Structure 1
């Protein structure tokens, strides 16, 4: 029996390693930690910079759109993850199913809110902005958390550290113009000059 177990062990180890590698390969990194390759900033590009492997968002209103080669920057069903850290009094957001535009708030898709202490807006982190809003502060400033956005069919889930905060299904007859599910890219929001928010480990898994 011991001999059989010893013979099986390398096979089990190889199978587990192959599975883990395959699962890891399903994720596509969207930010290399060193450059804005694949990203394009609109309106006020100086709002975005790279500090020690993370995207720093600090300046006048601007949006940083993913315009890279992954899925031709047109995502339908997906799981998106990013590590996020807010500083006190800051507001930001992650848009999805959106499109590049030169200025203004993105007119297409939805926004997953990032706001732990920007009291002028009661919509807190992980709200599906102005659609399914969370008003509870769920995470402190100056600490990293992982935000996950998943879209599958008409179903949107937004999580913080794997805890579901928003669970929303878009109705078949919804009428909100272009603020609906379709397909599109992602954008990070620079909200105002007094807000400073960081993003890193940005990745997506198409479904």
Structure 2
């Protein structure tokens, strides 16, 4: 009897531990939830605004300040989803496991899932896979012919999953990158990338998820995350 009870209890606890957390909807078309300015305490209205069911950057050309959006929560293992579209030549990114350090940008500590106009941005036009949409920026990616990509002005869907050190980048239901956090393979890639010698880069086991304001016009919608 006791043995049976313990087996049932153990199975129940294991199942509960394996279940993902509830989705946190960060933007539902009207309301921003759980997002604030990077290294700030409030939503950066000087940099982002709600417009036609989207949350969009105010570009530098319109007087916007390049302030990134960061989640209030810190994530270790998680799943993140959003839809995005860019202006011609536009650039943004989803940066994760970010440690906020005053005076340092989000990309100083966290890797980036690229958000880009592959057709008109220099990185995309050169078809440099490691810097195109969906890539693990400057480390792992796929060329335009290897993925489903929608051009400037059309909506793309990004999905990011980290569980047990395994990381996956998805773009429009195509896996663009997969790797093991902290692996020797990643360390070797970093040693030949622009991040060589960056102290504190990709060293955190947890951090915030950040939407980058790169200066151009970029729109996001259906933003949500959950802890795994």
Secondary structure at the aligned position of 1:46 is classed as: coil
Size of the aligned set, in residue pairs, is 178
Per-residue deviation, residues 162-183 of structure 1 (Å, max 9, x unmatched): 1111122234353763221510
State TM-score, norm by structure 1. 0.74
Q: Please, which runs of 5 or more residues in structure 2 have no aligned partner? A: 1-18, 61-65, 191-197
Tell me, in whole angstroms, the C-alpha distance in 2 between the residues paired with 1:32 and 1:139. 22
CA contact (8 A) 2:55 2:219 kept: yes
User: 80-89 or 50-59, which moves further after superposition?
Assistant: 50-59
The structure 2 residue matched to 1:136, chosen from 126, 138, 144, is 144
Tell me, in whole angstroms, the C-alpha distance in 1 between the residues paired with 2:29 and 2:139. 32
The structure 1 residue matched to 2:70, chosen from 37, 40, 65, is 65
Q: Please, which runs of 5 or more residues in structure 1 have no aligned partner? A: 1-22, 68-72
User: How far off is 1:24 after superposition?
Assistant: 10
User: 196-205 or 116-125, which moves further after superposition?
Assistant: 116-125
Aligned 1:148-163 pairs, distance under 5 A: 148-163=159-174
CA contact (8 A) 2:91 2:121 kept: no
CA contact (8 A) 1:62 1:103 kept: no
Residue of structure 1 equivalent to 2:94:
94
State TM-score, norm by structure 2. 0.68
* Larger strand percent: 1
Secondary structure at the aligned position of 1:62 is classed as: coil
User: 79-88 or 125-134, which moves further after superposition?
Assistant: 125-134
Tell me, in whole angstroms, the C-alpha distance in 1 between the residues paired with 2:57 and 2:102. 18
